[in-house]
Amino acid sequence: MVLQSVEKMIEQMEKDKSVALLKNEYLTKYLVVGYDIEGRNWSRHIRLSSASTPDGIRRNITEAELANLRGYGDRERSNAKRNRFREKLIRMGAMFLSQSLYLLPLKVIRNEQGNELDITGAEEWLKAWGADEDVNIHVMGFSLESTRSIEGVSKAFKKILTDRFEEMEKHLESAHNKLLDLENQVAQDQTKTIRGIHRIVEAIDKQTLDAQELINRYSDDEDEAKRNQFNLTKLVALKEKIAQTYATIVAMKERQRNDS
């Protein structure tokens, strides 16, 4: 599965001539990351004591019962948790191979101090992170040797990041336009509520920080990060515009309350 997925990725990039690599963008070492979202919550067979069962019979707890004990209650909640974890993994820079298998360049995995890790250190860090998320992570080192494979997968990773940041830019532009519309509505209607918009701004701040952190991990230094094609400066500028518009709306509502 891994080799087939990587080969498909290489073949796609051989047809795509839009991506050019700088010397430092050739990546050779990766981690294949698989996970069991059930981890602590579903995978373990927990046996109830006879005293805890009405019929006095020892038995394995059912999946639904375990979900209730863990606070999920249904499969949909487990799926939602799986999707949230996938999103976190993707924000780290992971490349999709299958529904539960991702390719993560070693270069983008850093510890809390921002230091690069070797494969052993990265594996330990990922497993510890998964444990904090109640997810059982399986990791395998993966090195590319041939020029073709190194170039193909490196280009795929660069294209994925480029596309991701273009999508983020569109998302920020859309969010800013919505806030501008809200600003006009508040100016025209003093009864217009702005409840909850602070959460939108907080989410945008986090997305931009995620983008900046990923670029800084991928690039070797801050200057290089600013030069790359991910247009981090555009994202930061959009975030600042959103913050300014938000501040204007809050100040407008405050004036309206004082005048009423």
What DSSP state is assigned to residue 257?
Answer: H
Is it the case that residue 224 has pLDDT exceeding 80? no
- Which residues make Cβ contacts (< 8 Å) with residue 28, sequence separation at least 6? 143, 144, 145, 150
Give the chain's mean pLDDT.
Answer: 79
Q: How far is CA 190 from the centre of its chain?
A: 38
Say what the pLDDT of residue 228 is: 65
Q: Which of 243, 253, 211 is nearest to 228 (CA)?
A: 211
What DSSP state is assigned to residue 46?
Answer: P
Q: What is the DSSP string of 180-200?
A: HHHHHHHHH-TT---TTHHHH
**Residues forming a β-bridge with 101:** 34, 98
- Which residues make Cβ contacts (< 8 Å) with residue 249, sequence separation at least 6? 179, 182, 183, 186, 194, 197
Is it the case that residue 151 has pLDDT exceeding 50? yes
Under the banding of pLDDT at 50, 70 and 90, the label for residue 103 is very high
Say what the pLDDT of residue 106 is: 93
The residue that leads in pLDDT, 2 or 174, is 174
By the 8 A CB rule, do 9 and 104 touch? no
Tokens of 117: 């890790």
